[in-house]
Structures are given as C-alpha cells and as structure tokens.
C-alpha cells in the first residue's frame, strides 16, 4: 500500500515587474470569496467588507489579520485533507493582500471588479425559516458557574417533517458553550419544563432523557445542511429539546437563543440522515483513557471505533475539545488497511468549531474504522489554560473540564453516494493525492477536461509509464503500466467510471505529475 499526502494545486496569476496589485483585478475576488460570508450586513463579523471603500477603510485591520493568520478562521491543515467551499488563504493570496495594502490599497478600475456574491438580506442564511425553536421567555442565568439547562418546544406538526438545514443563533455569544438539539418522542421532557418555575429546567428538576440527537452547535459553528434531497425525519407527537450549556461568568444576563429549521417537502425527500458523536472520550473508543491531563503536562490520547457493520456515507465532521486542546487529527482505515485522511487541526481553537463538509460524500465500506490522535497542553505555556497555575483536569461537562469528541453526520451507503458533490463550486485549490514524486515533475497535459468517454495525454516523454487514477478521497480507481504512445493516440477509456472529480498520476523513473479532471 502506498502512503499518500495532499498537495494543493495552485492556480497563480503571474504579474509583470511593473504590474501594481489593485482591488478590482486582484484583491476583491479574495475578499468577496473568503471574507464576505461573515463580514456582511447582519453577519457574525464585526466589520463589513462588501465594497472597495469598506475594505479600504479597514485595510490595516485586514493586513494585520492576514499577517497573524488570525483570519479567515480556517483550522484544518489543507496539506492533509480538503473540504467543500474552503476559505483559507493560500500564500499567494496572502501576498496579494499584503502587497495591496503596502502599495496604498489602490482601487484599480472599479467597473471591472467581480460582482459581490449573493448574501443574505438578514442574519439568517436559510432560504426560508419554516419553524423556529425559541424559549417561552428569556432565561436569566442564575450563577457565575457553568449551567446546563434544557428548553422544550412542542412539535406542532401532525405529520412527519423533514429537516434539511439547521442554524443556531446564541443569545449570549460569549457565554454559550454549546447549544445542542434533541427530539423527545414521548414528551417526558415537557413534564420537567412545566415543573420548573423558571424557563426550561435543569438537573434538579430532571435530566434530559431525549433519545434522538439532531444537531450540535459550538462556538464558531456554521449552518448545518445536508445533500440535496437528504433530511432528518421527525415524527409527530413529541417535543424538541434545546440543550444549553452556559459557561462561567454570565450571572444575571438574559439569554434568548433561537434555532431555525428549514424543512424539505416530503415529495422531495430521497434519503434520511443521521448524526452523532462517533468518536467519544470513553472506552472502548478511547484507547488510552481515562481522559485525564495532569497539571504541567502535555498528554496524547488515541481513539478507534469498532469496525462498522454496514457501509456508511459520511457527510461532514466536527471535532470538539475544550481549552486544553492543542491538536486533533482524524482518519479512517479501510478493511484493506488503506488510510483515508479526514481532518487535521494542528492548532486547536475553541472559538472556531465548524462543521467541515467533505467535498464529495465519503464512502466507508463495512469493516472500516475511525481513528484519531489528540494532544492536550495543561501547562502554563498554553495561553488558553483556564487555570493559573495549572490544575489536574479530567473528562467532564464543565468548561474547565475536558472533552475529546468528533461529531459526524452520515447515512447508510447507497451506490453512487461518493459521486455527490457537496460544495457550491469546485475550489481553485484542491487536494490531489501525490505519490513518491521526484524533484522534476513530468511534462504532461490532459484533454478534454471535462471528459465524457476518453481522456487523452499529451507529453514529450517516451516509453512505458505508470498510470494511476484516484477519486478525491484518495481511493485507487485504476492502476496499470502502459506505453505513453497509447495514451496519446488511443486515450484512456472512462466509460465505467461514474461522473465525479478524479486525479490522474503519470510517473516514470521516480518522477511524476498529477492532474485533476472531471468525468461528466
């Protein structure tokens, strides 16, 4: 089995020595594509970057954020794996922004700037808010310590509904540690709500016994959405339960967190989705537990699931740690031993815990396992350590405790799931499986691209070459040795390969080149 890593394909503009970087030609596309989703009217960013003038006014703030790599807040390592609609900055893009500010932030010809992408008119990113979950009245935090509280909303629908998108707006952004959503089919939670004199209820009244887990929200989380036509089915007769974990320091402050649901008409539903913490911080998944980090130590832990009994289709992934978290890497191991990189967060940040959607739905055959390694820093060198001096920390639900979890959305696998593209557009930089390349890449062109039946190769090399085709997850689709002349004249028949994005590698004598192509 070959070991592989991911190498970004960079599509870089080459400027002449006299060309000046400007907004219209160079910078607007970057800001509009990777910053405006947050930095817009009613967005979560504190400033708007929706025009040249607004970006110019905050040019030094933008430059500082780029120089310190604090923005955009993209945590996964792009050299390990890739996701749909990534918004990290390549080195070339960072250089353009820095050069633009340093040269006075010129506008260029504003009539030639790219159009502003469609942005929501309000805070919600949903096409429609079909049902909103909210408290009966605002809840005032009772303590400066961590609080867990559950709020119950009766399901008003008398037929099954299908949730295709979920978004969360925490009322107290600086205090809400997580806001999760459950479904209680037997309405036992409602009795607890009615028995508590305050909005919602806590463990003194009764615990949350809801059996259905629908969604997890942590600070920095984005919209949860599923593939087109996929949804979570909710049967009538029960209640939604909003679980709010408030971190310390909010006593006396009112909270009115809301959750918005976008529903899919029943006639449009093609698949049902499930979700849950497939990697969790106790045995048997936690291999070297218990999760205990002594004071003044850096400690590493590992997770491994039992082999799955059925084929799964993974949609997205969301790791979770608290403030001692330092790094978190997750991968899948297939039954034949092949490793599929899922996510690597080398510099954990509690404030940015997103759902990361795979570019294509990821097929895990039965017998596969999920695996991870996580590192915790409980020393004074960790600037986010909540204890000074450090104290022993164990697994627990308080903010100063720790967790080691990864949340997934998934569904039973159906043939062809791996060909469902999850992004809005194929990114300019994409993870390409590359194998033991030499110092000099081979000269290679492929055409047509996109391709329907046969892919041809144009190259100045001669003789026999090794050919490999892999999908976006790195799975080997085809492998053989062939004379380069045949690839030039006869091409590569792709009739049996499903429509999707692939990568072709041609290697010879220790050197190789990898190209991407789309099979229509």
Of the candidates 131, 166, 180, 162, which has an alpha carbon nearest to the alpha carbon of residue 234? Answer: 162
* Predicted TM-score of the model (pTM): 0.75
Q: Is residue 427 part of a domain?
A: no
pLDDT at res. 1: 34
Residues 274 and 190 in one domain: yes
Measured CA to CA, the distance from residue 422 to residue 86 in angstroms comes to 12
- pLDDT of residue 151 exceeding 50: yes
Q: For residue 512, what is the domain's CATH number?
A: 2.60.40.3080
Measured CA to CA, the distance from residue 176 to residue 229 in angstroms comes to 32
Question: What SS3 state is found at 485?
Answer: helix
Express each pLDDT in 330-386 by its tens digit: 999 999 999 999 999 999 999 889 999 999 999 999 999 999 999 999 999 999 999
Express each pLDDT in 257-277 by its tens digit: 999 999 999 999 989 999 999
pLDDT at res. 5: 37
DSSP bridge pairs for 189: none
Express each pLDDT in 109-126 by its tens digit: 999 999 988 877 677 889
- pLDDT of residue 194 exceeding 50: yes
Residues 98 and 153 in one domain: no
* Sign of the alpha-carbon dihedral angle for 445, 362, 34, 77: negative
> What whole-number percentage of the chain has pLDDT above 70?
92
Residues 353 and 449 in one domain: no
- pLDDT of residue 425 exceeding 90: no
Average predicted confidence (pLDDT) for the chain: 87
Name residue, tokens 């993870």.
431
* Helix 91-102 and helix 59-67, axial crossing angle in degrees, nearest 10: 140
Q: What DSSP state is assigned to residue 307? A: P
CB 189 within 8 A of CB 211: no
Structure tokens at 131: 């049902």
Predicted confidence band of residue 199 (pLDDT cuts 50, 70, 90): very high
- Residue 43 phi, psi dihedral angles, 5° rounding: -80, 175
For residue 420, count other CB atoms closer than 10 A to its CB: 18
- Tell me which of 456 and 161 has the higher pLDDT: 161
Beta carbons within 8 Å of 280's beta carbon, 6+ residues apart: 286, 303, 404, 405
Q: Is residue 90 part of a domain?
A: yes
Arithmetic mean of pLDDT, 149-171? 95
Predicted confidence band of residue 448 (pLDDT cuts 50, 70, 90): confident
Name residue, tokens 């190769």.
457
Q: For residue 228, what is the domain's CATH number?
A: 2.60.120.230
CB 114 within 8 A of CB 178: no
Residues 440 and 407 in one domain: no
Predicted confidence band of residue 68 (pLDDT cuts 50, 70, 90): confident
- pLDDT of residue 430 exceeding 50: no
Residue 152 domain boundaries: 131-419
Measured CA to CA, the distance from residue 204 to residue 142 in angstroms comes to 13
pLDDT at res. 424: 64
pLDDT at res. 442: 67
Arithmetic mean of pLDDT, 128-150? 94
Q: 204 burial class (0-12, 13-18, 19+ CB within 10 angstroms)?
A: exposed
Q: What DSSP state is assigned to residue 40? A: S
Q: Is residue 123 part of a domain?
A: no
Residues 397 and 441 in one domain: no
- pLDDT of residue 8 exceeding 60: no
CB 465 within 8 A of CB 507: yes
Q: Is residue 187 part of a domain?
A: yes
Residues 366 and 499 in one domain: no
* CA trace torsion 416, 418, 422, 426 (10° rounding): -110
**Into how many domains does the chain fold?**
3
Residues 275 and 364 in one domain: yes
Distances, alpha carbon 11 to alpha carbons 7, 358, 429, in Å: 13, 21, 7
CB 484 within 8 A of CB 476: no
- Residue 496 phi, psi dihedral angles, 5° rounding: -90, 0
| DSSP line for 244-300 | EEE-SS-TT-EE--EEEEEE--GGG--EE-EEEEEE-SSTTTBTT-S-EE-TTEEEE
Residues 347 and 461 in one domain: no
> What whole-number percentage of the chain has pLDDT above 90?
59
- Averaging pLDDT over each range in 79-83, 236-240, 395-399, which range is the top one? 236-240
CA 62 to mean position of chain CA atoms: 23
Of the candidates 383, 182, 169, 361, which has an alpha carbon nearest to the alpha carbon of residue 277? Answer: 182
Measured CA to CA, the distance from residue 405 to residue 152 in angstroms comes to 25
CA 234 to mean position of chain CA atoms: 25
Beta carbons within 8 Å of 420's beta carbon, 6+ residues apart: 227, 360, 361
Domain boundary (77, 112, 147) is at: 112
Residues 265 and 311 in one domain: yes
Question: What SS3 state is found at 63?
Answer: helix
pLDDT at res. 423: 74
ω into residue 462 within 30 of 0, thus cis?
Answer: no
- pLDDT of residue 488 exceeding 60: yes
- Tell me which of 88 and 234 has the higher pLDDT: 234
Domain boundary (390, 419, 448) is at: 419
CA 256 to mean position of chain CA atoms: 26
Domain boundary (112, 139, 155) is at: 112
Of the candidates 319, 324, 331, which has an alpha carbon nearest to the alpha carbon of residue 372? Answer: 331
Residues 171 and 259 in one domain: yes
- pLDDT of residue 429 exceeding 50: no
Q: Is residue 120 part of a domain?
A: no
Predicted confidence band of residue 520 (pLDDT cuts 50, 70, 90): confident
| Range of weakest confidence among 123-137, 283-297, 435-449 | 435-449
b vs e for 434-448, b when ≥16 Cβ sit within 10 Å of the residue's Cβ?
Answer: bbebeeeebebebee
Q: Is residue 126 part of a domain?
A: no
Q: Is residue 449 part of a domain?
A: yes
Predicted confidence band of residue 472 (pLDDT cuts 50, 70, 90): low
Residues 364 and 297 in one domain: yes
pLDDT at res. 434: 35
CB 281 within 8 A of CB 240: no
| Range of weakest confidence among 22-26, 140-144, 235-239, 427-431 | 427-431
First to last CA, the chain: 29
Residues 475 and 392 in one domain: no
Q: Is residue 428 part of a domain?
A: no
Structure tokens at 441: 């890449």
CB 288 within 8 A of CB 302: yes
Strands (E), 312-384: 312-320, 325-333, 339-345, 356-364, 369-378
């Amino acid at each position: 089995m070959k070991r592989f890593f991911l190498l970004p394909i960079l599509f870089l503009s080459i400027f002449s020595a006299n060309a000046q970087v400007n907004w219209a030609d160079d910078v607007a596309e970057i800001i509009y594509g990777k910053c405006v989703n947050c930095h817009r009217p009613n967005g979560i960013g504190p400033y708007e970057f929706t025009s040249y003038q607004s970006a110019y006014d905050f040019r030094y703030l933008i430059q500082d954020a780029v120089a310190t790599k604090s923005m955009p807040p993209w945590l996964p390592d792009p050299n390990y794996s890739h996701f749909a609609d990534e918004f990290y900055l390549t080195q070339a893009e960072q250089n353009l922004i820095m050069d633009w500010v340093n040269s006075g932030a010129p506008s260029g010809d504003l009539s030639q700037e790219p159009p502003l992408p469609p942005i929501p008119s309000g805070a919600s990113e949903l096409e429609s808010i079909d049902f909103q979950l909210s408290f009966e009245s605002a809840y005032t935090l009772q303590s400066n310590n961590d609080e867990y509280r559950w709020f119950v909303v009766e399901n008003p629908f008398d037929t099954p509904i299908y949730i295709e998108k979920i978004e969360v707006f925490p009322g107290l952004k600086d205090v809400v540690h997580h806001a999760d959503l459950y479904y209680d089919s037997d309405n036992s939670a409602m009795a607890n709500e009615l028995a508590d004199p305050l909005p919602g209820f806590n463990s003194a009244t009764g615990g949350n016994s809801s059996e259905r887990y629908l969604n997890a929200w942590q600070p920095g989380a984005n919209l949860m959405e599923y593939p087109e036509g996929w949804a979570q089915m909710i049967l009538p007769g029960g209640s939604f339960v909003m679980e709010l974990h408030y971190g310390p320091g909010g006593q006396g402050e009112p909270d009115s967190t809301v959750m918005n649901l976008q529903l899919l008409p029943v006639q449009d539903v093609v698949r049902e989705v499930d979700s849950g913490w497939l990697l969790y911080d106790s045995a048997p998944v936690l291999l070297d537990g218990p999760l205990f980090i002594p004071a003044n130590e850096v400690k590493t832990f590992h997770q491994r699931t039992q082999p799955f009994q059925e084929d799964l289709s993974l949609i997205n992934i969301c790791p979770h740690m608290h403030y001692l978290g330092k790094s978190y890497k997750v991968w899948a191991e297939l039954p034949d031993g092949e490793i599929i990189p899922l996510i690597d967060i080398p510099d954990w940040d509690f404030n940015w815990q997103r759902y990361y959607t795979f570019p294509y739905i990821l097929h895990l055959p039965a017998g596969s396992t999920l695996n991870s390694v996580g590192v915790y820093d409980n020393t004074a060198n960790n600037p986010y350590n909540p204890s000074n001096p450090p104290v022993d920390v164990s697994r627990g639900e308080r903010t100063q405790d720790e967790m080691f979890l990864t949340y997934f959305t998934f569904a039973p696998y159906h043939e062809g799931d791996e060909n469902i593209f999850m992004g809005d557009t194929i990114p300019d930089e994409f993870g390409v499986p590359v194998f033991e390349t030499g110092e000099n890449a081979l000269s290679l062109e492929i055409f047509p691209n996109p391709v329907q039946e046969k892919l041809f190769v144009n190259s100045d090399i001669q003789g026999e070459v090794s050919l490999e085709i892999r999908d976006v997850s790195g799975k080997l689709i085809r492998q053989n040795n062939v004379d380069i002349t045949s690839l030039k004249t006869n091409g590569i028949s792709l009739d049996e390969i499903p429509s999707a994005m692939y990568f072709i590698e041609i290697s010879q004598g220790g050197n190789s080149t990898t190209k991407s192509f789309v099979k229509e």
